[in-house]
Amino acid sequence: MNFSFDTTKILIGGEWRDCDSGETIDVINPSNGEFLCKVARGSQKDIDDAVKAAQDAYDGDWGRMTAVERGRILTNIGNKLKEYEDELTELESHDVGKPVKQARADAIALCRYFEFYGGSADKVMGHTIPYQDGYTVFTLREPHGVTGHIIPWNYPMQITGRCVGGALAMGNTCVLKPSEEACLTALKFARIAEEAGLPKGVLNVVPGYGAEAGAALSGHPGIHHISFTGSVGVGKLVQKAAGDNIVPVTLELGGKSPQIVFDDADLDAALPFLVGAGIQNAGQTCSAGTRIIAQRGIYEKLIGMMTEKYNTLQVGPATDDLDVGPLISAKQKNTVDGYIQAGIDAGLEIAAQGNIVDNCPEKGCYVRPTLFRDVSNDHKLAQEEIFGPVQVIIPFDTEEEAIKIANGTEYGLVSGVWTRDGGRQMRMAKAVKAGQLFINNYGAGGGVELPFGGIGKSGFGREKGFEALYGFSVLKTVAVNHG
């Protein structure tokens, strides 16, 4: 594809420049395994410069700007992003292998984050607190200062929007380290934000490898808050590094989310969500609803319905805009193929598989969506985050049993419950351990307005929605003795 910008440049202090080493990383298109472009291999020196530029911007006009003015700039960014929706969609589709409709949904979500946070910037308020006679006490919500953002490859636009949007709304400045696997839309986004009037140095973007640029950012003493989205293993490293500097962290990690289907559920309404939440983005979604926990009375019927749906699923190049695109890389494909093989080797029964269309490029990273039935919740297919289009169905008899199975992993990100019984809806809302719970719907990644985050190994802290603004700010209590 043709690029409208130089993909090898990094953004520091409003200047697009080469990274310090001058080295680059090759970007591969996962739909065909072919070379797409080069991006910079940022390192410690680039991160040092980016943090300094972000601090300078914070100490300058941006730090003194009113919330109303900041909100207007974010709203401008949202408006400008609309003009670039097609280009962002094309970039993401080539870079990540997303079917066009998914890439477009992500571009729209990026825009929505800036609309939402543009409108929120001047609505975060403190409190007055009744105290001793002669005192007035109030609280102020203030920015952290320089914030670091380390993001993964699966939803680069959505995650850039949610973390950078929230941080800027509260008056922070940002250093963004996108994934080495997929950083093109983050680079393009920064150019669009610049065009929309974001002052120099407020957003700095340094692509590079995790162990280099990522580690340099998470351990940097000049950072005042880190927002990390990625795997549990790297999340631990980021938390340790931030701990050394006593810096607050938001960790948005993995998941193994259940969708619980009771006998009284509207199965026709549930079906598109049950399958869709497992195969969206080729299953490379932290909140993918991969464990279908189904009550015995509808168990066989539901398997039949899901099988029928799976049989229609088509997998192919992102630009063909089918149900499922390729995985991000050959490495990820090998991992997911390994899980499917492990299921087969363990004697698990495959209920259904989708189909890879004819004439797919040989080097594309394609995997057939696969549904395993009668899986025990302690099997690794039901316990580990596969990050590919693989779902398991687990039977249950009682509500108690369903809760036990749903809560029976290390994770707690998102859950879905399908039932028409109002009392049960409320009981499940309280009993299921997750950061988000959907009843009679399922929103893998959806809704910029909805606070999102995990418990357990899914992480802590909340991004998205208004709630995120508390995490991207610090509370100061002011006690005035006026006699």
List, by residue number, the catalytic residues. Answer: 252, 286
Question: Using the rule CB under 6 A, is 239 a contact of ligand NAD?
Answer: no
Contact 436, 452 (CB under 8 A): yes
Contact flag: residue 409 with ligand NAD (CB under 6 A): no
CB of 214 to ligand NAD, least distance (A): 2
444 belongs to the binding site for ligand NAD (CB under 6 A): no
Contact by Cβ (8 Å): 74, 112: no
- Report 445-464 residues binding ligand NAD (CB under 6 A): 454, 459
Binding test (CB under 6 A) with ligand NAD, winner from 74, 81, 88, 150 = 150
Taking alpha carbons only, the member of 480, 468, 478, 479 closest to residue 124 is 468
| Of 253, 348, 444, 468, the one binding ligand NAD by CB under 6 A | 253
Q: Which is nearer to ligand NAD, 70 or 464 (CB)?
A: 464
Check residue 105 for interaction with ligand NAD (CB under 6 A).
Answer: no
- Using CB under 6 A as the binding rule, the residues of this chain from 327 to 346 that contact ligand NAD are none
The window from 113-121, 208-216, 262-270, 376-384 that contacts ligand NAD (CB under 6 A) reads 208-216
In contact, 321 and 99? CB cutoff 8 Å: yes
Q: Can you tell me which of 42, 166, 171, 254 binds ligand NAD, judged by CB under 6 A?
A: 254
The least distance separating ligand NAD from the CB of residue 151, rounded to whole angstroms, comes to 6
CA gap 418, 377 in Å, rounded = 19
> In angstroms, rounded to a whole number, what is the distance separating the alpha carbons of residues 245 and 227?
14
18 burial level (CB within 10 Å; 0-12, 13-18, 19+): middle
Letters for 168-187 (x = contact with ligand NAD by CB under 6 A, - = none) are ---------x-xx-------
Nearer to ligand NAD, 298 or 328 (CB): 328
Residue 86 Cβ vs ligand NAD, minimum distance, rounded to whole Å = 24
- Pick from 218, 281, 295, 436 the residue near ligand NAD by CB under 6 A: 218
215 is a contact residue toward ligand NAD (CB under 6 A)? yes
What Å distances lie between residue 69 and 204, 207, 461, CA to CA? 20, 29, 27
b vs e for 260-293, b when ≥16 Cβ sit within 10 Å of the residue's Cβ? Answer: bbbeebebeebbebbbebbbbbbbbbbbbbbbbb
Min dist CB 265 to ligand NAD, Å, is 26
Write out the two tokens for 180. 């080495």
Q: Report helix, strand or coil for 102.
A: helix
331 vs 282, 364, 460, 470, CA distance in Å?
14, 12, 28, 38
Cβ-Cβ contacts under 8 Å for 420 (sequence gap 6 or more): 264, 265, 266, 440
Residue 207 contacts ligand NAD per CB under 6 A: no
Residues 35 to 54: which contact ligand NAD by CB under 6 A?
none
Q: Does 386 bind ligand NAD (CB under 6 A)?
A: no
Binding segment for ligand NAD among 12-20, 89-97, 152-160, 270-278 (CB under 6 A)?
152-160
Cβ-based neighbours of 73, under 8 Å, separated by 6 or more: 118, 168, 196, 197, 198, 199
58 makes contact with ligand NAD (CB under 6 A): no
- Per-residue CA distances from 46 to 18, 21, 180, 241 (Å): 9, 9, 15, 18
Q: How far is the CB of 150 from ligand NAD (least distance, A)?
A: 5
27, amino acid identity: V
- Residues engaged in binding ligand NAD (CB under 6 A): 150-155, 177, 179-180, 210-211, 214-215, 218, 229-231, 234, 237-238, 252-255, 286, 385, 387, 413, 454, 459
